Structure 1
Amino acid sequence: MSEKLNINQWAEEDRPREKMATLGAEALSSAELLAILIGSGSTKESAVDLMKRILADCNNSLNTLGKKSIHDLCQYNGVGDAKAITILAACELGKRRQMETPEERPDLGTATRIYNHMHPVMQDLDVEEFWVLLLNQQYRLIKKLRIARGGITATTVDIRLIIREAVLCNATQLVACHNHPSGGITPSKQDDELTISIMNACKLMDIHFADHVIITDGHYYSYHEQGKC
Structure 2
Amino acid sequence: MITKNPVRSLMIKELPESERPREKMMQKGSQALSEADLLAILLRTGTKKVSVKMLAEELLAQYGINGLGGLTTQELSKVPGIGVAKAVTVLAGIELGKRLSSLGPGEKVVVRSPQDAAHFMMGRLRYEAKEHFIVLLLSTKNHIIAAPTISIGSLNASVVHPRELFREAVNYAAASVILIHNHPSGDPTPSQEDIALTHKLADAGELLGISVLDHVIIGDGKYVSFKEKGIL
- TM-score for both structures, normalised by structure 2: 0.52
* Residue of structure 2 in register with 1:200 after alignment: 203
For 2:148, which of 122, 145, 150 is the aligned residue? 145
* Residue of structure 2 in register with 1:51 after alignment: none
Q: Does 1:120 align with 2:123?
A: yes
SS in 2 for 1:112: helix
- TM-score for both structures, normalised by structure 1: 0.53
* Residue of structure 2 in register with 1:11 after alignment: none
The answer on whether the counterparts of 2:139 and 2:174 sit within 8 Å (CA) in structure 1 is: yes
Alpha-carbon distance between aligned partners in 2 of 1:217 and 1:149, rounded to the nearest angstrom: 18
Paired letter, 1:200:
D
- How many equivalent residue pairs? 127
For 2:181, which of 178, 182, 205 is the aligned residue? 178
CA deviations 1:84-137 (Å, max 9, x no partner) are: xxxxxxxxxxxxxxxxxxx71201121111111001111221111100010011
SS in 1 for 2:110: coil
Alpha-carbon distance between aligned partners in 2 of 1:115 and 1:180, rounded to the nearest angstrom: 13
CA deviations 1:30-73 (Å, max 9, x no partner) are: xxxxxxxxxxxxxxxxxxxxxxxxxxxxxxxxxxxxxxxxxxxx
* Residue of structure 1 in register with 2:136 after alignment: 133
Alpha-carbon distance between aligned partners in 1 of 2:231 and 2:210, rounded to the nearest angstrom: 17
The answer on whether the counterparts of 1:212 and 1:223 sit within 8 Å (CA) in structure 2 is: yes
Paired letter, 2:224:
Y
For 1:219, which of 222, 225, 230 is the aligned residue? 222
Alpha-carbon distance between aligned partners in 2 of 1:164 and 1:123, rounded to the nearest angstrom: 26
Q: Does 1:108 align with 2:127?
A: no
Cα deviation, residue 228, structure 1: 1.7
- Counting only pairs closer than 5 Å after superposition, residues 20-59 of structure 1 correspond to structure 2 as none
The answer on whether the counterparts of 1:153 and 1:191 sit within 8 Å (CA) in structure 2 is: no
* Residue of structure 1 in register with 2:164 after alignment: 161
Alpha-carbon distance between aligned partners in 2 of 1:207 and 1:164, rounded to the nearest angstrom: 11
The answer on whether the counterparts of 1:109 and 1:139 sit within 8 Å (CA) in structure 2 is: yes
The answer on whether the counterparts of 1:153 and 1:190 sit within 8 Å (CA) in structure 2 is: no
Alpha-carbon distance between aligned partners in 2 of 1:123 and 1:188, rounded to the nearest angstrom: 18
Cα deviation, residue 171, structure 1: 0.5
- Counting only pairs closer than 5 Å after superposition, residues 23-102 of structure 1 correspond to structure 2 as none
Which has the greater radius of gyration?
1
RMSD of aligned Cα (Å): 1.8
Paired letter, 1:129:
H
SS in 2 for 1:194: helix
Cα deviation, residue 209, structure 1: 0.8
Cα deviation, residue 158, structure 1: 2.1
The answer on whether the counterparts of 2:131 and 2:157 sit within 8 Å (CA) in structure 1 is: no
Closer, same or farther: CA 153–218 of 1 in aligned 2, 3 Å: closer
5+ unaligned residues in a row in structure 1: which ranges?
1-102
Alpha-carbon distance between aligned partners in 2 of 1:184 and 1:164, rounded to the nearest angstrom: 30
Cα deviation, residue 184, structure 1: 1.3
